[in-house]
Amino acid sequence: MTNSLTVTEPALLQSPTQGAPLGVGVGTPPAFASQSDVAATDRRIGALEHELSATPSRLPTAQTTSQNPELLANLKTSLQNLEIQRTDLLEKFQPDYRPVKEVEKQIAQVQTMIAAAERNPLRQQTTDQNSTYQMLQGELAKAKAERASLHAKASATAPVVSTYSREALLLDQKNLQRGDLLRDVKTAEQNYLLYLNKGEQARISDALDKRQILNVAVAEAATVPALPINSPWLLVLAGGILAVMISAGSAFTVDYFDTSFRTPDEVVKYLDVPVLAAFPKNGHAPRFALPPAEPGESISNPGKGRTRLFSWRRSNGH
């Protein structure tokens, strides 16, 4: 345990601490900033080009509308000539004559042209350059020039980016190694402390064994339960049943070992002699009558009981 701890601690002290890579200052590297600026400039150029495509280069400043008198005059003259020609043909031929139909067709075409010329007069429009379009063009040119400079700067800082990448990779590897060393040191410390604790426990146990002292540790303190383990009604029922059984047993035992006579019938049954008289012990009159004694009979006292009983016997010994 101690050897493992002495090996991992020097390695941990020699490993670099976590932080910025060696030779790298705090803050955003200029190479990474140039790349982000190039990406932002590209997005800006795309937005400017989209706005330019939707913005007209020139805007109308003035607009005038007028008819074309020369065209209308020519069309109306042609129409009059065709109508005169149709009238001359109708004087000589029928309306379904082919030259007449051709003239009517030309008349309809001329009328259509006159109506179109009247609906669509000549429009004269004056335009000027759009200032918004010119501003967008200027911003686009500026953004393209900035992009070119940023590309040149990014190309110049490419070696720096490569150096930063290598140093970051090396730092990640060293951080991983440091993490492994920290875990090894922590594991070795825990094992060493566990070893010391076990050794101390073994030493204490040996000392207690030598002095014949019992080492008892309380795993969990006793607590008073919130509810009783047994129901009180069950205890009352069990106590009542037990009391009845004890009372009945006691009464049976006392009655079994009691040798006194309680009733005349017990005397008659036990002595096989008739009972002459019975005197209760509490002084009350007996609850039964005795037959009168015959001549020659004697009365004897067989013993004492709850009731003083006297039996009579014949003189002949029966």
For residue 69, name the pLDDT band (cuts at 50, 70, 90): confident
DSSP 23: T
Residue with tokens 């040798």: 259
pTM (predicted TM-score): 0.30
> Could you tell me where the beta strands, DSSP code E, fall in the chain?
58-66, 122-129, 275-279, 298-300, 308-313
Q: What is the 3-state secondary structure (H, E, C) of 147-186?
A: HHHHHHHHHHCHHHHHHHHHHHHHHHHHHHHHHHHHHHHH
Mean pLDDT of 36-52: 86
More confident position, 244 or 265 = 244
Mean pLDDT of 44-57: 86
In angstroms, rounded to a whole number, what is the distance separating the alpha carbons of residues 179 and 172? 10
Mean pLDDT of 148-161: 79
More confident position, 180 or 70 = 180
Of 181, 190, 212, 230, nearest in space to 1 by CA:
190
| Per-residue pLDDT, 32 | 58
| Per-residue pLDDT, 282 | 58
| Per-residue pLDDT, 163 | 85
Answer yes or no: are the C-beta atoms of 128 and 58 closer than 8 Å.
yes
Q: Is the pLDDT of residue 144 over 80?
A: yes
Answer yes or no: are the C-beta atoms of 261 and 267 closer than 8 Å.
yes
Answer yes or no: are the C-beta atoms of 184 and 8 closer than 8 Å.
yes
| Per-residue pLDDT, 249 | 92
| Per-residue pLDDT, 137 | 87
Amino acid at 246: I
For the chain, the average pLDDT equals 74
Domain boundaries, the chain: 30-178, 259-313
| Per-residue pLDDT, 8 | 59
Q: Is the pLDDT of residue 306 over 60?
A: no
| Per-residue pLDDT, 216 | 61
| Per-residue pLDDT, 248 | 93
For residue 59, give Cα distances in angstroms to 54, 65, 122, 123, 298.
13, 18, 19, 16, 168
| Per-residue pLDDT, 202 | 86
Strands, sheet with 308-313, edge to edge from the N-terminal-most edge strand: 275-279, 308-313, 298-300
> Could you tell me where the beta strands, DSSP code E, fall in 78-155?
122-129
| Per-residue pLDDT, 13 | 58
Mean pLDDT of 188-196: 88
Q: Is the pLDDT of residue 136 over 90?
A: no
Q: Is the pLDDT of residue 85 over 90?
A: no
- Reading the block at residue 109, the tokens are 């075409």
| 144-150-154 Cα angle (round to 5) | 145
Answer yes or no: are the C-beta atoms of 45 and 143 closer than 8 Å.
yes
pLDDT digits (tens, 9 = 90+) for 204-228: 888 777 776 665 666 677 777 777 6
Mean pLDDT of 86-99: 83
| Per-residue pLDDT, 292 | 45
Q: In this structure, what are the phi and psi dihedrals at residue 86, rounded to the nearest 5 degrees? A: -70, -40
Of 20-29, 69-78, 261-270, the range with the lowest mean pLDDT is 20-29
Of 65-69, 123-127, 159-163, 173-177, the range with the lowest mean pLDDT is 65-69
For residue 65, name the pLDDT band (cuts at 50, 70, 90): low
More confident position, 166 or 273 = 166
Mean pLDDT of 104-130: 80
More confident position, 81 or 263 = 81
Of 289, 308, 290, 288, nearest in space to 300 by CA:
308
